[in-house]
Amino acid sequence: MDMFKSKRLKNVSNPFKSNKSSNGESKGSATKQSKTAPISKNINVPQIPSVSSNSKLFNIRELFNFGMNGKVISLAFDYTQSLLALATETGELHIYGQNQVEVIFSVQTKAPIVRMSFVKGIYLVAVDAKDTILVMSIYSKKVLTTVFSPSKVTCMETDPSLDWVLFGLQSGSVIIYDIDRNQMSTTKIENLQKSKFFPKDRLSPVVSIQWNPRDVGTILISYEQVTVTYSLIDAEIKQQFIYDLPPFAPGGDPSKNVDQLRRPTVIQSLYHPNSLHILTVHADNSLVFWDANTGQLIQARSLLETDVNIPQQGLINNPSKEAKPDIVKIAWIAQNNPEYTSLLIATKSRMGTELLQGFTMIDLGGTPLYTITSYDGMSNYYSKTTKEKYFVLNNKSPMETFLPIPRRSPYFAGCHDPGFILILLEDGEVETLLYPSGFFTSKASLFPPNLSWIRPAVTKSMAVAVPKKVWLGMMSANANKDSLLKGGMLAKKPIRRQEFRSAIVTGHTNGSVRIWDASHGEIDDAVVFDINVAQILNRSIHISVEQISFATETLELAMAVETGDVVLFKFETNQFFDPQNQNKAKDLEMEFRRFSLNDYKQILIDVRSRASKLVKQGFMPSTVVHANKGKVSALKNSNIGFVGIGYEDGTFYVIDRRGPAIIYGENMRHIPGIRSQSVTSVEFAIMEYGEDGYSSILLFCGTDAGELITYKILPEVGGRFGVQFVEVIRSNDHGSVLEIEAFAKDTHMSCSATIAKMQALSKGLPVAGYVSVSGLNDVRILKMGKSKESHKSFKYPLAATGVSTVPILSPKEGRKFKTVLTTLLVNGDIKIFSVPDLKELKSSHSPAPVHSQYIRGSSVLSNGEVAVRVSQYKMTLLTIVSEDALGSSSTDNNATDTLYNPNLRIPYRPQVNTLQWARGTVYCTPDQLDLLLGGERRSASKYKESAIANGTLTLKPTTGSNGRDALQEHGYTKPIRHATKGRYSVLKSVSRTVETHWDALEDGFNDYATALGEGMNDAVEQTGKDIVKGSLGI
């Protein structure tokens, strides 16, 4: 390189090689093995004096928290406010909005929340593990009240537009809670299975409950043996649905008792979005479709078979040796037009120790017209479906539940045209399914950065300090525009005055590395850099990230996956950017380049063509180091283009990214005098070695036996570089070397290798320095080549250490810098020492409780901040410098983010269609429901939240450009009732309604004509019933 040809080097004798042959340095080339590896003796010397320090300059305090305490156990989404709620096992409740919007509720009962739901966009109703009902305000961000349930809550149902919550109990009763008045309704539904159907059977809990999607006056209740539609208006059962399997009918599970009468237990029931049909789901995996009005069984099927309720001659028990998928949960998905639906069925099973789970999507297509379709026709519709798909969920943790994210409205049980399905697993991890394509995605930008801890699980965590200008420039080039959450507003906080921003880096089980800003509210856009190696390695399994190194000045990234492959990236413009796929000529050529890496024999593989065509600028892949040496034990990407890779088998490579080329490859177990088995830590520094009289590029390798190996990186003929072994010393008492850092003797500034320092090598100026080496439970300060040292041992093992240079504001001297060594112990103790004498300046404990299993995923940053991995799902950012030393006023800002936006309106709730109205279905309005459940003496509103929310309700259908209801364009608006005389007047009213387009569902008068004979008498009869119910105004 030209920088090594400066005339200033003429007066320097052999500037890149040590003259001290007595130190036992290898004089061979980079590829030659050292004949000896001298062990330098540890010499105890007096402590090196340092500038006096005042411990008041340091105050360990908390800045920000990232992630959550404990695993996630329940989810809820609000369509109107576009917010996502996550409850954890520790009793915390996190509500997320756009960017970094987050508000945390700490429940006083400390019991985990097991189910929750948003109501009116302003309340969040939850039930904890102790069956305490909690009501939280999204507006005031407070817990408004807690109510104790009279029995164990087995299910809960809410509606986005109502104040009322239905609770199904273990006793079989249904109680109704008035959120706004904070009281239970006097209306209570007894255990209908016990009182009306099977009085001699054991008491059944309520297993499922759902509002009628078209009429709030009717609810669907399931017990273990019977499902009913119940009229709140009449306080009676409208229809019952009992699924009996006669002998020799296979049912959903023909493995036992097929010669007997069976009644499979109900586990869930659902309304079709038009409310005309009902689906009951049974423990034997039977899916039974019913006519909601008549109670007629339309079709009983399983995932694979149809007509499973019909006896088959000669049927015998058929225990299957294959794993039988058990249904976990079903959602009846409505498309944009609610008459076009599909079923999303979650299943899981076990075959030996292997967990098999996934989703079956049954595309039902458009629903046949109710009035002209026979039961046989409807049976064919549910048995001979349009399309079926199976989506395999490859995850070791069992599925717990799933949550659709609707795009059209909050109604139809939250299943109105969802584009994404959130899947909660038992270990707290969250998977994301694209619907209806069935692809799984872990794209980080879909959700706030804090959810990165669970999408998917984190396998490696760290933090780095990035130059502020470089970092802000990177973020501005990658604005997040595809977040699913749009709600809330950040509480702005003043940006910290610092030259280096802290960034969190996480590696994940799916081969992703994510990098984002370690702050909350300081920066508007929460950009997350998401780098994934699955496509680059052409592999979907065994890609968990185990090692990460980020060169923050050159913006180069190296990551190692569990197979030992190392992928190198650089932040740059994508030369293969082609979002429209216009350059198809190169597609075939690139596909040939994307074979499995196992097909390659060389170690360094060019993977630049495997960059995503959809990313214009970001971390682009350049090279894969495919060494086949096993797992990586140490990885360091320097800021001068060199990468050090240590493998567990003892192999150590140095890669020059400029080639790329391997400039060193050796197994340390073959080097005489070295007792170590593998490299555990790597650092590149530019400083003087011993008495050289000039600075060199030094490479330090810490080992699993507490040894420190020193190399020099030297220029060779042809512009290449070589690596020369220098020495090995015993640096630490016990265990592996954890961290290596170098700093200058005079200024105490970092000697870590940078481009600027590398260019200064041509001046031939020596920079004397020290090297800090941290081991299992001790730290040594070394002066390389001289072995002068100071030493500090600790009672507990070290989790992370680092040398930090922080700005200090002095009244006399103004702004100056101070360098200290900070140590974090596995018990949470944080100690600050002066350098190089290791005099203790401050000792404190982490403000957040720590978990020893995860704390080794912490980092001490060069800017004076400490990122502490306190648990599996949480990291806390601390600073070691007091506010007085920084010269800043208190940065504590108690203002929390805003969640509620009163300008967002709750859509109009769908109503019964014209046919249902003509047949006598009584539509109950929300006001009538309030009167019915609350009584005429219903107390005054208790919370201002209800008044605010009521102002956002859409009371009438909003019309689109075509003059029809934008949401109800598929025919679910309430028809106008006219006074009628006799049945023919009723029919004229129906015809008039059709002609005025109120009945788009049946699409025209001709569709009604075939049903007139059947509907005439029913319509007249039910019209008479309406008069009786007039007392309620219904």
Residue 191 CA, chain-centre distance (Å), reads 40
pLDDT at 423: 97
CA-CA distance, 624 to 617, in Å (whole number)? 20
Report residue 883 as tokens.
């506010």
- Does residue 16 sit in helix, strand or coil? coil
Cβ within 8 Å of residue 302, ≥6 positions away: 251, 252, 285, 286, 287, 308
pLDDT at 373: 92
CA-CA distance, 428 to 873, in Å (whole number)? 9
Residue that is written with structure tokens 């109670």 in the block: 295
pLDDT at 1008: 32
Residue that is written with structure tokens 């995605």 in the block: 441
Q: How many CA atoms, within 13 angstroms, populate the side-chain half-sphere of residue 443?
A: 15
pLDDT at 917: 58
Task: Report, as an integer, the average pLDDT of 804-813.
Answer: 80
CA-CA distance, 989 to 972, in Å (whole number)? 17
Q: Are 421 and 343 in contact (CB under 8 A)?
A: no
Using CB atoms within 10 Å of the CB of residue 881, give its burial: 0 to 12 exposed, 13 to 18 middle, 19+ buried.
buried
Q: Is the preceding peptide bond at 836 cis, omega within 30 degrees of 0?
A: yes
| β-sheet bridge partners, residue 349 | 356
DSSP state of 193: I
β-bridge pairing 354-366 and 387-392: antiparallel
Give the tens place of pLDDT for each residue, 715-763. 998 889 999 999 999 999 989 999 999 999 999 999 999 999 999 998 9
Residue 441 CA, chain-centre distance (Å), reads 11
Packed helices 1012-1028 and 982-995: angle between N→C axes, nearest 10 degrees: 110
Report residue 996 as tokens.
């005025």
User: CA nearest 751: which of 651, 666, 850, 836?
Assistant: 836
Q: Are 896 and 520 in contact (CB under 8 A)?
A: no
Report residue 570 as tokens.
């650089």
Report residue 528 as tokens.
């997350």
Report the percent of the chain where pLDDT is more than 90. 69
Size of the chain in residues:
1034
CA-CA distance, 714 to 698, in Å (whole number)? 9
CA-CA distance, 768 to 751, in Å (whole number)? 9
CA-CA distance, 508 to 392, in Å (whole number)? 20
CA-CA distance, 462 to 558, in Å (whole number)? 13
Does the pLDDT of residue 110 top 70, yes or no? yes
Does the pLDDT of residue 43 top 90, yes or no? no
pLDDT at 155: 98
Lowest mean pLDDT among 29-33, 70-74, 771-775, 897-901: 29-33
Using CB atoms within 10 Å of the CB of residue 148, give its burial: 0 to 12 exposed, 13 to 18 middle, 19+ buried.
exposed
pLDDT at 966: 42
pLDDT at 889: 56
pLDDT at 990: 34
Lowest mean pLDDT among 358-362, 548-552, 876-880, 920-924: 920-924
pLDDT-derived band of residue 540, with 50, 70 and 90 as boundaries?
Answer: confident
pLDDT-derived band of residue 597, with 50, 70 and 90 as boundaries?
Answer: confident
pLDDT at 957: 77
Residue 786 CA, chain-centre distance (Å), reads 50
Instruction: Output the CA–CA distances (angstroms, integers) from residue 863 to 503, 767, 879, in the order listed.
Output: 11, 22, 9
Task: Report, as an integer, the average pLDDT of 686-700.
Answer: 95
pLDDT at 4: 42
CA-CA distance, 590 to 538, in Å (whole number)? 13
pLDDT at 1023: 39
β-bridge pairing 556-561 and 604-606: unpaired
Instruction: Output the CA–CA distances (angstroms, integers) from residue 715 to 624, 663, 721, 758, in the order listed.
Output: 24, 11, 4, 12
DSSP state of 454: B
Q: Are 674 and 728 in contact (CB under 8 A)?
A: yes
Question: Can you list the positions of beta strands (E) in 13-57?
Answer: 39-40, 43-44
User: CA nearest 154: which of 38, 266, 305?
Assistant: 266
Question: Can you list the positions of beta strands (E) in 129-265?
Answer: 132-137, 142-148, 153-157, 164-169, 174-178, 183-189, 208-211, 218-222, 227-231, 236-241
pLDDT at 890: 54
Q: Is the preceding peptide bond at 456 cis, omega within 30 degrees of 0?
A: yes
Residue that is written with structure tokens 């109009």 in the block: 908
Instruction: Output the CA–CA distances (angstroms, integers) from residue 139 to 77, 124, 286, 749, 837, in the order listed.
Output: 16, 10, 43, 49, 54
Better pLDDT: 492 or 136: 136
pLDDT at 919: 58
Task: Report, as an integer, the average pLDDT of 300-318.
Answer: 90
Lowest mean pLDDT among 4-18, 495-509, 880-894, 985-999: 985-999
CA-CA distance, 994 to 885, in Å (whole number)? 78
- Which of 81-90, 528-537, 584-593: highest mean pLDDT? 81-90
Helices assigned H by DSSP within 322-386: 375-383
Residue that is written with structure tokens 């407070």 in the block: 142
Task: Report, as an integer, the average pLDDT of 867-872.
Answer: 97
Give the tens place of pLDDT for each residue, 404-450. 999 999 999 999 999 999 999 999 999 999 999 999 999 999 999 99
CA-CA distance, 330 to 268, in Å (whole number)? 8
User: CA nearest 683: which of 869, 549, 777, 568?
Assistant: 549
**Exposure pattern of 929-947 as b/e (b: 16+ CB <10 Å)?**
bbbbbbeeeeeeeebebbe
Does the pLDDT of residue 830 top 50, yes or no? yes
Measured CA angle at 409 (ends 406, 411), to 5 deg: 95
Question: Can you list the positions of beta strands (E) in 33-101?
Answer: 39-40, 43-44, 58-67, 72-78, 83-88, 92-96
CA-CA distance, 1004 to 914, in Å (whole number)? 11
Q: What are the structural domain ranges in the chain?
A: 463-482+491-626, 914-1032
CA-CA distance, 331 to 412, in Å (whole number)? 10
CA-CA distance, 266 to 285, in Å (whole number)? 10
- Which of 100-109, 250-259, 691-700: highest mean pLDDT? 691-700
pLDDT-derived band of residue 171, with 50, 70 and 90 as boundaries?
Answer: very high
pLDDT at 139: 97
Lowest mean pLDDT among 7-16, 303-312, 559-568, 898-907: 7-16
Report residue 1031 as tokens.
């007392």
pLDDT at 202: 93
How many CB atoms sit inside 10 A of residue 821's CB? 24
Mean pLDDT of the chain: 85
**Long-range contacts (CB closer than 8 Å, 24 or more residues apart) made by 315-319:** 315/248, 315/249, 315/250, 315/254, 315/258, 316/258, 316/259, 317/254, 317/255, 317/256, 317/257, 317/258, 318/254, 318/255, 318/258, 319/255, 319/256
Cβ within 8 Å of residue 107, ≥6 positions away: 91, 92, 93, 113, 128, 134, 143
Does the pLDDT of residue 593 top 90, yes or no? no
Q: Are 502 and 467 in contact (CB under 8 A)?
A: no
Does the pLDDT of residue 801 top 60, yes or no? yes
pLDDT at 317: 80
Listing DSSP states for 471-540 in one string gives HHHHHHTT-----S----B----PPP--SEEEEEEEEETTSEEEEEES-SSSSSS--EEEEE-HHHHT-S
Give the tens place of pLDDT for each residue, 47-106. 333 334 456 789 999 999 999 999 999 999 999 999 999 999 999 999 999 989 999 998
Model pTM? Answer: 0.86
Better pLDDT: 563 or 1032: 563
CA-CA distance, 36 to 19, in Å (whole number)? 17
